[in-house]
């Protein structure tokens, strides 16, 4: 990078920042792209026929009289002023422009909408209030991304009712597995001080269809349920409600217990319970009453509170099994407290108690599958997409398709715990699609893909939803790496419609975050699309299992993991989970069981998760496993080298601050990837 150019950009940034400070206007800063605007980066569109037609439509707008009119008006003013340099006039009824009105189509439900257009008018219709909010963001996206507006005929109904972001934010402000600074909620300042960021956060979530946020870490500090914290939560709920977002909390199962006795109940929060009881046994009437009272208190502050997300009997967290009760007992007890208010329980299935099975990958299924059908109707199980733990690649969790009588929401991880933190550019959408949503479980024969199952198409489900573990923090651009914004965006769009094409989600993100220039679009797409695959090749080849250090989940940890969590020797590598091995394959429906069980048919992406394979094994490429493995390890470095070149090729198309920051990230990624590669090479060469 040309040194002068870099200095110039930095000086320009500081100059504009100082101007903004001097004139006391946050506004000035927005002339410099910092990434704060995310994909709502409204910039003047280039002059064109499309822009002229957008101006004609956008000049007059009639609002529907919905609960969201105020935020819709503000968003349209902001967007249209910036994109089209028009200040829309809001009118009562209009024959020309954008007209929003309620319609009688009940099928649109709570959140659906219809957008149609003729030569003079765009109509946005919805059956219920929230449809207008989502329809408005859709319309803005169409304008922003330069779609023709003249013959619109769009009908959108979200496939999933619950579209949730989980924030693993602790009360001290740190984010577990967060790589973008501290958590967004300034707990100490709430409820008095309300930061403008909260509203911008809500705008961002609503713009991609998110309607639920869990505010705190699943490794839950019990104090989140104290009255003082509930008031803070209520203050956030008041803001989010304006954007049709409900708040949820992650309670600690042992919260009813006295502080002095909690030390025996789960190791993580020993000694800091907030109740007055000696037990948290879910069948104890006093415990049940404690939760009823607590839930009533919550609803008195937050009338539309969503419910609880619970991590129980997992990684040291308290749970019903501490009292010899089952997950069903625990979940139903909480569900009964929430039911009168319309709240739900999301009970996580991320458990891996070694007593259940020697193979960690079999444990969650073995614990939960037999409980299917026993949960109350307002209980959902929340299940990680993969079986092991958010690995760069791993087969889909076999519970999907195997729980016919219990709603199962997938939990995807947007934050890149095992995928290069906020250092590596790794676009997760291709992974979510290939290893998860498109995975055909065969639970009802061919076509029983995970995306069909979670959308209730394969068999009915009482509730449909999807959760993502957020990747945002207080860093100026929210996600630290500018490209990590794409993972947040893609998650939201997928939760709205798991079948939405990768192509359209990706290009909409690029256009609305960077710009609509063709070369920019093409180059950024080329940078993003191969990154997941190359990351897997370089870091966790063929779904081998954990390869990073236990302490950080980032640096190479082959020595720590080898021959404990997976096998390697001079002859072979990988874990035998076939019918002759741990028999994990048998948790899948027959078609997949047979495929995974067979060395020749098993997809190579999952080869070492299911098989112990001789290094001499011939791969589809014609190379031996040893040769292919070795050359694949280099793909991480090759990809980042290519990406640096590609990024430099669009230097004059990208605003200076973000250009520089991305380049810095790429250089850091290059350095760290080289270190990882060297460690991998050193480790594996002793077996080659
Ligand atoms: C992983 C992660 C933990 C997290 C846990 C969970 O193990 O490393 O930080 O708490 O998943 O999902 O509960």
Span 374-389, average pLDDT: 98
User: Residue 214 forms beta bridges with which residues?
Assistant: 166, 248
Distance 495 CA to ligand 1 centre (A): 22
Q: Which is catalytic among the residues 315, 377, 552, 641? A: 315
> How confident is the model at residue 273, as a pLDDT?
81
Model confidence pLDDT, tens digit, residues 540-575: 999 999 999 999 999 999 999 999 999 999 999 999
Query: Based on the number of CB atoms within 10 Å of its own CB, is 365 exposed (0-12), middle (13-18) or buried (19 or more)?
Result: buried
8 has a pLDDT exceeding 60? no
Residue 259: band (very low, low, confident or very high) from pLDDT cuts 50, 70, 90: confident
Which residue has its alpha carbon closest to ligand 1 atom 10?
A: 219
> How confident is the model at residue 270, as a pLDDT?
54
Closest atom, ligand 1, to C-alpha of 218: 13
Model confidence pLDDT, tens digit, residues 160-202: 999 999 999 999 999 999 999 999 999 999 999 999 999 999 9
Residue in 315, 318, 469 to alter for ligand 1 test, most ligand atoms within 8 A of Cβ: 315
18 has a pLDDT exceeding 90? no
**Which secondary structure element, helix H or strand E, spans residue 22, and what is its range?**
helix 3-22
Q: Where are the beta strands (DSSP E) in 28-104?
A: 60-62, 89-91, 97-102
Distance 284 CA to ligand 1 centre (A): 29
Q: CB of 533 within 8 A of CB of 430?
A: yes
> How confident is the model at residue 17, as a pLDDT?
41
Which residue has its alpha carbon closest to ligand 1 atom 11?
A: 389
Ligand 1 site residues (CB inside 6 A) read 176-177, 218-219, 311, 315, 350, 389, 417
Span 207-226, average pLDDT: 97
CB crowding 112-139: b at 16 or more within 10 Å, else e: bbbbebeeebbbbbbbbbbbbbbbbbbb
Closest atom, ligand 1, to C-alpha of 553: 8
Residue 272: band (very low, low, confident or very high) from pLDDT cuts 50, 70, 90: low
Distance 507 CA to ligand 1 centre (A): 32
Closest atom, ligand 1, to C-alpha of 314: 13
With tokens 């997992």, the residue in question is 314
Nearest one of 523, 656, 627 to 11, comparing CA atoms: 656
Cβ neighbours around 44 below 10 Å, total: 11
> How confident is the model at residue 269, as a pLDDT?
60
Least confident of 12-16, 239-243, 412-416, 645-649: 12-16
Model confidence pLDDT, tens digit, residues 285-330: 999 999 999 999 999 999 999 999 999 999 999 999 999 999 999 9
Q: Mean pLDDT in the chain?
A: 94
* Cα 448 to the center of its chain, rounded Å: 23
Which residue has its alpha carbon closest to ligand 1 atom 12?
A: 350
Residue in 253, 389, 545 to alter for ligand 1 test, most ligand atoms within 8 A of Cβ: 389
Model confidence pLDDT, tens digit, residues 54-63: 999 999 999 9
Closest atom, ligand 1, to C-alpha of 384: 12
Cα angle 310, 259, 193 (rounded to 5 degrees) comes to: 70
Cα angle 505, 506, 511 (rounded to 5 degrees) comes to: 100
Q: Which is catalytic among the residues 69, 304, 376, 389? A: 389
Three-state DSSP class for residue 49: helix
Distance 165 CA to ligand 1 centre (A): 15
Which residue has its alpha carbon closest to ligand 1 atom 1?
A: 389
What does the alpha-carbon distance between residue 634 and residue 244 come to, in Å, rounded to a whole number? 46
Residue 21: band (very low, low, confident or very high) from pLDDT cuts 50, 70, 90: very low
Kindly give the pairing relationship between strand 113-117 and strand 121-126: antiparallel
260 has a pLDDT exceeding 70? no
How much of the chain, in percent, has pLDDT values that exceed 70? Answer: 94
Distance 383 CA to ligand 1 centre (A): 12
Q: Which is catalytic among the residues 417, 508, 576, 672? A: 417
Distance 177 CA to ligand 1 centre (A): 8
Q: Is the pTM of this model over 0.85?
A: yes
**Paired tokens of 638:** 């090759």
Distance 497 CA to ligand 1 centre (A): 27
Residue in 177, 390, 468 to alter for ligand 1 test, most ligand atoms within 8 A of Cβ: 177
With tokens 């992406």, the residue in question is 605
What does the alpha-carbon distance between residue 401 and residue 197 come to, in Å, rounded to a whole number? 40
Model confidence pLDDT, tens digit, residues 64-110: 999 999 999 999 999 999 999 999 999 998 889 999 999 999 999 99
> How confident is the model at residue 268, as a pLDDT?
58
Supply the Cα-derived Rg of the chain in whole angstroms. 26
Closest atom, ligand 1, to C-alpha of 177: 9
Long-range contacts of 331-336 (CB under 8 A, 24+ apart): 331/375, 331/376, 331/379, 332/282, 332/375, 332/376, 332/379, 333/282, 333/283, 333/287, 333/288, 333/291, 334/251, 334/282, 334/291, 334/308, 334/310, 335/375, 335/376, 335/378, 335/379, 336/288, 336/376
Span 463-478, average pLDDT: 98
Residue 315 designated active-site: yes
20 has a pLDDT exceeding 80? no
Distance 311 CA to ligand 1 centre (A): 10
Distance 558 CA to ligand 1 centre (A): 20
Closest atom, ligand 1, to C-alpha of 469: 12
Distance 168 CA to ligand 1 centre (A): 9
What does the alpha-carbon distance between residue 617 and residue 611 come to, in Å, rounded to a whole number? 11
Domains plus CATH for the chain? 49-156 (3.30.379.10), 162-504 (3.20.20.80), 532-687 (3.90.1330.10)
Higher pLDDT, 29 or 632: 632
> In 415-501, which ranges are continuous DSSP H helix?
429-431, 450-454, 484-496
What does the alpha-carbon distance between residue 605 and residue 427 come to, in Å, rounded to a whole number? 17
Span 130-158, average pLDDT: 97
Model confidence pLDDT, tens digit, residues 512-533: 999 999 999 999 999 999 999 9
**Paired tokens of 222:** 């019990």
């Amino acid at each position: 990078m040309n040194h002068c150019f870099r200095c110039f950009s930095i000086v320009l940034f500081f100059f504009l920042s100082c101007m903004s400070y001097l004139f006391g206007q946050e506004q000035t800063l927005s002339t410099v792209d910092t990434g704060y605007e995310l994909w709502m980066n409204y910039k003047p569109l280039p002059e064109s026929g499309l822009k002229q037609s957008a101006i004609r439509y956008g000049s007059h707008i009639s609002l529907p009289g919905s609960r969201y009119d105020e935020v819709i008006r503000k968003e349209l003013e902001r967007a249209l002023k910036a994109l089209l340099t028009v200040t829309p006039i809001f009118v009562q009824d209009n024959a020309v422009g954008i007209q929003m009105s309620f319609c009688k189509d009940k099928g649109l439900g709570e959140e659906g909408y219809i957008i149609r257009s003729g030569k003079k008018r765009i109509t946005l219709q919805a059956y219920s209030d929230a449809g207008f909010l989502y329809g408005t963001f859709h319309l803005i996206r169409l304008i922003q991304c330069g779609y023709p507006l003249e013959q619109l005929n769009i009908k959108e109904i979200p496939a999933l009712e619950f579209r949730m972001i989980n924030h693993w934010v602790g009360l001290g402000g740190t984010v577990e597995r967060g790589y973008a600074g501290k958590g967004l909620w300034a707990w100490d300042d709430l409820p008095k001080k309300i930061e403008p960021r909260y509203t911008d956060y809500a705008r961002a979530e609503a713009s991609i269809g998110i309607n639920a946020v869990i505010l705190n870490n699943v490794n839950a500090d019990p104090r989140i349920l104290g009255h003082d914290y509930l008031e803070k939560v209520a203050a956030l709920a008041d803001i989010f409600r304006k954007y049709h977002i409900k708040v949820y909390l992650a309670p600690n199962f042992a919260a009813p217990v006295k502080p002095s006795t909690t030390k025996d109940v789960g190791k993580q929060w020993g000694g800091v319970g907030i109740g007055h009881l000696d037990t948290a046994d879910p069948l104890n009437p006093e415990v049940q009453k404690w939760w009823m009272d607590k839930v009533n208190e919550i609803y008195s502050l937050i009338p539309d509170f969503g419910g609880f997300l619970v991590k129980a009997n997992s990684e040291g967290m308290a749970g019903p099994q501490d009292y010899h009760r089952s997950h069903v007992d625990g979940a139903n007890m909480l569900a009964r407290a929430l039911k009168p208010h319309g709240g739900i329980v999301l009970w996580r299935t991320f458990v891996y108690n070694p007593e259940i099975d020697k193979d960690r990958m079999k444990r969650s299924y073995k614990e939960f599958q037999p409980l299917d059908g026993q949960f109350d109707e307002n209980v959902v199980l929340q299940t990680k997409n993969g079986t092991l733990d958010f690995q760069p690649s791993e087969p889909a969790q076999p519970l999907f398709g195997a729980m016919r009588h219990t709603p199962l929401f997938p939990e995807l991880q947007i934050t890149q715990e095992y995928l290069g933190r906020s250092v590596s550019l790794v676009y997760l959408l291709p992974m979510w699609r290939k290893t998860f949503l498109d995975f055909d479980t065969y639970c009802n024969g061919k076509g029983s893909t995970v995306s069909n199952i979670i959308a209730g198409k394969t068999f009915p489900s009482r509730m449909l939803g999807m959760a993502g573990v957020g990747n945002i923090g207080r860093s100026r651009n929210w996600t630290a790496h500018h490209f990590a914004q794409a993972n947040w965006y893609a998650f939201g769009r997928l939760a709205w419609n798991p079948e939405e094409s990768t192509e359209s989600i990706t290009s909409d993100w690029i256009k609305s975050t960077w710009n609509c220039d063709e070369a920019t679009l093409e180059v950024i797409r080329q940078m993003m699309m191969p990154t997941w695959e190359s990351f897997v090749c370089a870091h966790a080849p063929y779904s081998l299992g954990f390869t990073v250090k236990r302490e950080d989940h980032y640096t190479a940890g082959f020595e720590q993991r080898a021959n404990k969590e997976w096998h390697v020797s001079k002859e072979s590598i990988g874990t035998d989970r076939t019918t002759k091995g741990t028999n994990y394959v048998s948790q899948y429906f027959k078609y997949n069981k047979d495929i995974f069980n067979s060395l020749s048919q098993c997809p190579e992406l999952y080869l070492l998760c299911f098989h112990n394979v001789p290094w001499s094994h011939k791969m589809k490429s014609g190379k031996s496993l040893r040769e292919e493995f070795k050359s694949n390890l280099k793909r991480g470095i090759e990809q980042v080298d290519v990406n640096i070149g590609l990024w430099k090729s669009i230097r004059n198309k990208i605003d200076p601050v973000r250009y520089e920051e991305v380049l810095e990230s790429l250089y850091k990624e290059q350095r760290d990837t080289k270190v990882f590669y060297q460690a991998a090479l050193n480790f594996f060469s002793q077996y080659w």
